Structure 1
Amino acid sequence: MADKQTTSKQTWRQRARSAMAFSGYLHHRIGHDRLTVTAGSMAYVTLLSLVPLITVVLSALSSFPVFAGLGELLQNFVIENFVPAAGEVVKQYLNEFVANAGKMTAVGVAALFVVAMMLISSIDQSLNYIWRVHEKRRPVISFSIYWMVLTLGPILVGSSIAVSSYLGSLNLLGSDAVNGLLQRSLRWLPVIMSSCAFLGLYLLVPNTKVRFRHALVGAVIASILFELSKKGFALYITNFPSYQVIYGALAVVPILFVWVYLCWCIVLFGAEFTASLGEKSHWHPDTKGWQTTVPTQAELSGIQQAAKKGTDVQQTDIIGKGKNK
């Protein structure tokens, strides 16, 4: 009995030690990668690409008769679940901008498509930098991935919303218990969708192998932070209307920018968390030659090449080679 308690205490101590080491490494990595600066630049690109992206998404949906009428439903879903506070004002402005964009010529539409691609390209570059990937995909592959995101993404989201709307309209057997369970399940739809979006982002965008387990953990953490920040941000805007007092009718601009910036901080934090899980040799206390250092691109490239060959490389070996160069 005493041996079991001693073993249990040692196990918990090892887990606590590993958790502390991982937290320190993650904090150091975030500072090294200047997460907040990257999030700011991504927020700027997002606001620049927002209207073109929505225009492309609505055009993709309208190309399929089965998704006719889902454009407005998709907008309402995004505004209500992903833009806390000032949602109606944002929706009104976006509708006006999209309506104006619809009057453009073919050249203008092509320009909108290019701007929308800029956002996805920026996401690709930022996430690959976090994973220390310096080998770029071939242009054909990159374009195919971007095209798939811009076309299949809206279709998948539209399908999900159509299914949830259909289920929500059903009156199954007239049972209050069943309807209550269905409503509670539908309430979790935004969380599930955001988790799936983060999971796909962390698995597919980096041009390197990412373990599904690591990506899933990072996606769940990012989704939880997203939901908490959404509620907290809405509470702040509602109870402390400083932006409305200062900017008046233009308050929606800084509010939207701050929210988009906060969202990118969460997305990049989840990416840093996922990438750190895959760099166990750099933070786990039981690793030979362990020290909390952020791997450079050359060091991580050596680790990835060794992993492809199936050889076991210690952190000190990689760092030593990098310094000798």
Structure 2
Amino acid sequence: MKKSTFGTIFTLLKTTFIKWWNRDPFSQSEIIAYNAIFSLPGLLVVVLAIAGYFFGSDAVSGKLHSEVSQTMGADTADQIQNMVLIANKSKDSVWATLLGIAIIIFGATRVFVQFQKSLNTIWEVKESSTKSGIWSFLKTRIFSFGLIVSIAFLLLISLIVSSLLSVFSSWVVQNWSESLLIIFKMFSFVFSLSIIAVLFALMFKLLPDTKIRWRTVWIGAFITSLLFAIGKSGLALYFGKADPGSGYGAASSIILILLWTTYSSLIVFFGAEFTKVYSDFYFGNKPATKNAVKNKERVE
């Protein structure tokens, strides 16, 4: 007898949770959080530089400050802004500048390389012996940098649309009715959710060393973006009420960044696991690409 839609969804979610839990996602998320601390300044410098070139650095920095303030508070937002200023500080010579740029790019790509390793674990693939050496290392970094450029492009689109919505909503309030603002807020939420879904789709499709159907990727990305939006609101409420970084003094901002990255990574790994479970459920196991081999070790 064919399962109902709700029965299928329950089975998928139950299987996802069991597999996600058995892979010890907390350890993986802590590794991501650790790498994110070192990657964050470089990552933000690159993203803000690319998006700021088209839209203005002040506007992009203001958008970043606003987003961080809503989740982790103004103090943490100020701290992150200072990190970017220090990382972006001009050097005394051309060679020092080039070295600084190389270090920034290396740091910015570090967290995506770690995400790739974690996603390969979820998809039960591992790098083959031929995928090693300096050239492979450089290709991985270049690929990760390309993903960062994509993030900057998505941020640019988000800023443009957000600005247009802000101007248009002000015009509507002045000339029509404030009740129409609800429609604009709903549209803004859906648009933000779509931007996040595209980002997750790029990660789920491009980072793992195995072929994944776009249909599977989009479903997994949508589920992950929805969970991410809910988790973001939950974390903002938790940070606002509990203030978990209050007992760490000057290091409170770093603690909040670590906590936010850890919790967010848990959600991303759950979404990636759901994508894998969905793919296995409807399409069966997919063979790995030539750049990876099946990982036969069972994750307990």
Shared fold (TM-score greater than 0.5)? yes
Letter in 2 for 1:253: I
Provide the residue aligned with 1:229 in structure 2. 231
Say whether 1:96 aligns with 2:82: yes
Provide the residue aligned with 1:117 in structure 2. 109
Q: Does the 8 Å CA contact 1:128/1:134 hold for their aligned counterparts? A: yes
Provide the residue aligned with 1:6 in structure 2. none
> Following the alignment from structure 2 to structure 1, what is the Cα–Cα distance between the partners of residues 150 and 9?
38
Instruction: Give the C-alpha shift of residue 180 in structure 1.
Output: 4.8
> Following the alignment from structure 2 to structure 1, what is the Cα–Cα distance between the partners of residues 162 and 207?
28
Taking a change above 3 Å as real, the CA distance of residues 201 and 219 of structure 1, as seen in their structure-2 partners, is same
Alignment of 1:99-178 (within 5 A): 99-101=85-87, 102-104=89-91, 105-106=96-97, 107-135=99-127, 139=136, 142-170=140-168, 171=171, 174-176=175-177
Instruction: Give the C-alpha shift of residue 15 in structure 1.
Output: 6.1
The SS at the match of 1:279 is helix
Q: How far does the alpha carbon of each residue in 1:184-222 deviate from its partner, in whole angstroms, 9 at most, with x for none?
A: 312433322212211221122222221223222222221
Match of 1:86 among 72, 82, 90: 72
Letter in 1 for 2:90: K
Letter in 1 for 2:257: L
Q: Does the 8 Å CA contact 1:84/1:230 hold for their aligned counterparts? A: no
Provide the residue aligned with 1:289 in structure 2. none
Q: How far does the alpha carbon of each residue in 1:224-247 deviate from its partner, in whole angstroms, 9 at most, with x for none?
A: 221222222222222223532x23
Q: How far does the alpha carbon of each residue in 1:153-177 deviate from its partner, in whole angstroms, 9 at most, with x for none?
A: 3133113312320232132693336
Taking a change above 3 Å as real, the CA distance of residues 227 and 151 of structure 1, as seen in their structure-2 partners, is closer
Instruction: Give the C-alpha shift of residue 83 in structure 1.
Output: 6.1
Say whether 1:194 aligns with 2:186: no
Under a length normalisation based on structure 1, what TM-score does the superposition of the two structures give?
0.73
Q: Does the 8 Å CA contact 1:81/1:190 hold for their aligned counterparts? A: no
Q: Does the 8 Å CA contact 1:39/1:265 hold for their aligned counterparts? A: yes
Q: Does the 8 Å CA contact 1:168/1:183 hold for their aligned counterparts? A: no
Greater relative contact order, per chain length (Cα 8 Å cut-off, separation 6+): 2
Between Structure 1 and Structure 2, whose CA radius of gyration is higher?
1
Match of 1:41 among 14, 31, 48: 31
Taking a change above 3 Å as real, the CA distance of residues 24 and 239 of structure 1, as seen in their structure-2 partners, is closer
Under a length normalisation based on structure 2, what TM-score does the superposition of the two structures give?
0.78
The SS at the match of 1:134 is strand
Give structure 2 stretches of 5+ with no counterpart: none
Instruction: Give the C-alpha shift of residue 82 in structure 1.
Output: 5.7
Q: Does the 8 Å CA contact 2:20/2:269 hold for their aligned counterparts? A: no
Taking a change above 3 Å as real, the CA distance of residues 152 and 230 of structure 1, as seen in their structure-2 partners, is closer
Q: Does the 8 Å CA contact 2:68/2:77 hold for their aligned counterparts? A: no
Letter in 2 for 1:115: G
Provide the residue aligned with 1:270 in structure 2. 271
Instruction: Give the C-alpha shift of residue 39 in structure 1.
Output: 0.8
Identity of aligned residues (%): 22
Q: Does the 8 Å CA contact 1:221/1:270 hold for their aligned counterparts? A: yes
Give structure 1 stretches of 5+ with no counterpart: 1-9, 284-299, 309-317
Alignment of 1:299-310 (within 5 A): 304=287
> Following the alignment from structure 2 to structure 1, what is the Cα–Cα distance between the partners of residues 153 and 26?
32
Instruction: Give the C-alpha shift of residue 86 in structure 1.
Output: 3.3
Q: Does the 8 Å CA contact 1:52/1:112 hold for their aligned counterparts? A: yes
